[in-house]
C-alpha cells in the first residue's frame, strides 16, 4: 500500500510540474486543448524520467532523443535530427570539399548500397566496389540509423577511421577499416567523342557544378561540338540551385521546376534561354536521383533531349536544414518538386524515352571518361540518336 502511494505521489508531482510548464507554453503559443494535452504527455514523461530514472540523466540528451524520435516517426528517410557532429558535417556536405571515404551511396527499401567509388579514394584503396551493401557503420546496423544519417556518420575529420561491415554478393560479410581523407569533389568532366559529338558527365550537384558545367560547355564548343550526351547515371543529386544553373544553359525558355510546399505556396525556377543550341541525349539509370531527375525531367518535358537508359530512382522531395540552439539542427522535407508538365516523380521516377539496360556494371567516377567506352551500349545508343538528329 505504501509503495502504491509513493508511486501515486511521484506521478502526481510529475504531472503538476508538467502542467504548470505546459500552461505557460500554451498561453504563449495559443495552443488548443488537444495539442496542449499531447504536449503535457511529453513533458510529463520527460519530468518523470529525469526525476526518477534509476541513474542520473542528461536533460539535453533527453530532449535530443525526443526530437530525434519525433522526426523518425515521420517515416521519411530524408528527414533527420542532426546532433552537433552531424550538423557540422552537413554544413560542408555541398561545399565541394569534406572528410570522407570517397563513395557515392544510394538509399532504398531500408538498405544502403555503394553506387560508385571515386578513384584514388580511401574506398577504392580498401577495395570497396559499386554494388556493395553497407550493413553497419562502426558497429551500428544501418537498420537502426536514418538513411541520410548513414552518410553523415561515414564522413568525419581526415585521418580518422571508420569501420564498415560490407555485404558483397556471393561472399561472406566483411568489416573494412577505412581512414578518411579530404575529398575534393569535382563534379563535371567532358570530352569530345568524335569530331562533332561531345560528352559531359555530371557526378553530383555541388555548389560549383553550375560553373563547372559552363566551363565544360565552352571547352566543347571551342572544339566545334554539334550535339552532346549528358551522362547523369549514378548521379545522386545535390544542390537544387546548382541544378537550375545547369538547366538554364540547356533547357529552353519557360519553367524548369516548381517547388510546392504543403500549404500550396509555389516557387518556380525559370530558364530564359530562347532555344537549345544542340541535340541532347541524357543517360539515366536506377541510381539517378533527386536533382539529376529534376534536370532530366525538364529536358524531357520541353522536348529538348531524349532520355536513354532505365527508370530513375524517384526522389522528388526538397529538404532544408534548420539550425537549432546547441550547434545542432533539423533536416526536414518541406516540399516536393514538379517538372514543367507538373509531374511529381517522387516514388515514381522518370521513364526514359528509349529503354536500354546497361550491359556491364558501371563505376561512374569522373576518371572513367579517359577509358575506352566503346562497349557501353547505353552510350552507343545515345551516339546513334545524336547522329540521326544531326543528319
State whether 198 and 180 are in the same domain: no
The verdict on residue 367 lying in a domain is: yes
State whether 69 and 110 are in the same domain: no
CATH of the domain at 378: 3.90.226.10
Query: What grid cell was written down for 308?
Result: 536513354
Mean pLDDT over residues 203-217, rounded?
93
CA distances from 325 to 88, 153, 331 (A): 13, 21, 14
Whether 315 is catalytic is yes
State whether 179 and 192 are in the same domain: no
Q: Which is more confidently placed, 26 or 229? A: 229
* Boundary (domain end) residue, out of 129, 156, 184: 184
Q: Which is more confidently placed, 97 or 170? A: 170
Q: Whole-number mean pLDDT of the chain? A: 86
Using CB atoms within 10 A of its CB, is residue 196 exposed (0-12), middle (13-18) or buried (19+)?
A: middle
State whether 254 and 227 are in the same domain: yes
The verdict on residue 216 lying in a domain is: yes
The verdict on residue 90 lying in a domain is: no
The verdict on residue 215 lying in a domain is: yes
Tell me the per-residue pLDDT of 5-54, one tens digit each, with 9 for 90 and over.
554 445 555 555 555 555 555 554 555 667 778 888 888 888 899 889 99
Residue 211 bridge partners (DSSP): none
State whether 139 and 77 are in the same domain: no
Whether 275 is catalytic is no
Mean pLDDT over residues 105-129, rounded?
82
DSSP state of 368: G
Out of 17, 249, 319, 344, pick the active-site residue.
319
Contact present, 131 and 362 (Cβ < 8 Å): no
Residues 6+ apart with CB under 8 A from 81: 64, 67, 68, 70, 71, 72, 328, 330, 331
In the numeric block, the cell 530532449 is attached to 63
Res. 96: pLDDT tops 70: no
Distance between CA atoms of 225 and 193, rounded to whole angstroms? Answer: 10
Tell me the per-residue pLDDT of 67-85, one tens digit each, with 9 for 90 and over.
999 999 998 888 999 888 7
Residue 112 has a pLDDT of 87
State whether 374 and 300 are in the same domain: yes
Out of 290, 292, 300, 365, pick the active-site residue.
290
Closest by CA to 306, choosing from 224, 372, 212, 383, is: 383
Mean pLDDT over residues 51-59, rounded?
91
* Boundary (domain end) residue, out of 81, 114, 148: 81
- Provide the residue range defining the domain that includes 102: 97-184
Residues 6+ apart with CB under 8 A from 145: 137, 153
State whether 228 and 297 are in the same domain: yes
Distance between CA atoms of 152 and 134, rounded to whole angstroms? Answer: 14
Residue 161 bridge partners (DSSP): 179
Beta-sheet pairing, 254-261 with 266-271 = antiparallel
Res. 116: pLDDT tops 50: yes
The overall pTM is greater than 0.85: no
The verdict on residue 10 lying in a domain is: yes
State whether 348 and 204 are in the same domain: yes
Tell me the per-residue pLDDT of 274-306, one tens digit each, with 9 for 90 and over.
999 999 999 999 989 999 999 999 999 999 999
State whether 132 and 254 are in the same domain: no
Structural domain count of the chain: 3
* Boundary (domain end) residue, out of 165, 184, 203: 184
Rounded (10°) angle between helices 240-250 and 291-301: 30
Query: What grid cell was written down for 94?
Result: 555541398
DSSP state of 252: P
Contact present, 366 and 189 (Cβ < 8 Å): yes
The verdict on residue 230 lying in a domain is: yes
The verdict on residue 86 lying in a domain is: no
The verdict on residue 140 lying in a domain is: yes
State whether 73 and 214 are in the same domain: no
Residues 6+ apart with CB under 8 A from 276: 250, 251, 252, 304
State whether 236 and 309 are in the same domain: yes
CATH of the domain at 170: 2.30.42.10
Give the count of beta carbons closer than 10 Å to the beta carbon of residue 227: 20
Contact present, 197 and 164 (Cβ < 8 Å): no
Mean pLDDT over residues 256-267, rounded?
94
Tell me the per-residue pLDDT of 236-250, one tens digit each, with 9 for 90 and over.
888 899 999 999 999
State whether 177 and 199 are in the same domain: no
User: Distance from CA of residue 200 to its chain's centroid?
Assistant: 21
Out of 315, 317, 378, 381, pick the active-site residue.
315
Mean pLDDT over residues 185-211, rounded?
91
Amino acid at each position: 500500500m505504501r509503495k502504491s502511494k509513493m508511486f501515486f505521489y511521484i506521478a502526481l508531482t510529475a504531472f503538476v510540474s508538467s502542467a504548470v510548464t505546459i500552461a505557460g507554453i500554451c498561453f504563449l503559443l495559443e495552443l488548443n486543448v488537444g495539442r496542449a494535452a499531447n504536449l503535457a504527455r511529453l513533458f510529463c514523461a520527460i519530468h518523470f524520467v529525469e526525476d526518477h530514472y534509476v541513474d542520473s540523466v542528461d536533460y539535453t540528451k533527453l530532449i535530443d532523443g525526443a526530437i530525434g524520435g519525433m522526426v523518425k516517426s515521420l517515416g521519411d528517410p530524408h528527414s533527420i535530427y542532426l546532433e552537433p557532429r552531424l550538423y557540422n558535417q552537413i554544413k560542408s556536405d555541398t561545399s565541394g570539399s569534406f572528410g570522407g571515404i570517397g563513395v557515392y551511396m544510394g538509399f532504398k527499401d531500408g538498405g544502403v548500397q555503394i553506387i560508385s567509388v571515386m578513384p584514388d579514394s580511401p574506398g577504392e584503396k580498401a577495395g570497396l566496389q559499386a554494388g556493395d551493401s553497407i550493413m553497419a557503420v562502426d558497429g551500428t546496423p544501418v537498420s537502426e540509423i536514418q538513411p541520410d544519417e548513414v552518410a553523415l556518420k561515414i564522413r568525419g575529420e581526415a585521418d580518422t577511421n571508420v569501420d564498415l561491415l560490407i555485404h558483397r554478393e556471393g561472399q561472406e560479410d566483411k568489416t573494412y577499416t577505412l581512414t578518411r581523407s579530404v575529398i575534393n569533389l569535382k563534379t563535371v568532366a567532358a570530352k569530345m567523342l568524335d569530331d562533332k559529338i561531345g560528352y559531359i558527365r555530371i557526378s553530383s550537384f555541388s555548389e560549383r557544378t553550375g560553373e563547372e558545367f559552363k566551363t565544360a560547355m565552352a571547352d566543347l564548343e571551342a572544339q566545334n561540338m554539334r550535339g552532346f550526351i549528358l551522362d547523369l547515371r549514378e548521379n545522386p543529386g545535390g544542390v537544387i540551385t546548382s541544378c537550375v544553373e545547369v538547366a538554364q544553359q540547356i533547357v529552353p525558355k519557360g519553367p524548369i521546376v516548381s517547388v510546392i510546399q504543403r500549404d500550396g505556396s509555389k516557387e518556380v525556377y525559370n530558364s530564359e534561354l530562347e532555344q537549345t543550341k544542340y541535340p541532347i541525349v541524357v543517360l539515366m539509370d536506377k541510381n539517378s536521383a533527386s536533382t539529376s531527375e529534376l534536370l532530366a525531367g525538364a529536358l524531357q518535358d520541353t522536348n529538348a533531349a531524349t532520355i536513354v537508359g532505365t527508370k530513375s530512382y524517384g526522389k522528388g522531395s526538397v529538404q532544408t536544414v534548420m539550425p537549432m540552439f546547441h550547434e545542432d539542427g533539423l533536416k526536414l522535407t518541406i516540399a516536393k518538386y514538379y517538372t514543367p508538365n507538373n509531374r511529381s516523380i517522387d516514388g515514381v521516377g522518370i521513364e526514359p524515352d528509349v529503354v536500354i539496360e546497361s550491359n556491364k556494371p558501371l563505376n561512374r567516377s569522373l576518371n572513367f571518361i579517359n577509358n575506352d567506352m566503346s562497349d557501353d551500349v547505353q552510350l552507343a545508343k545515345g551516339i546513334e540518336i545524336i547522329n540521326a538528329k544531326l543528319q
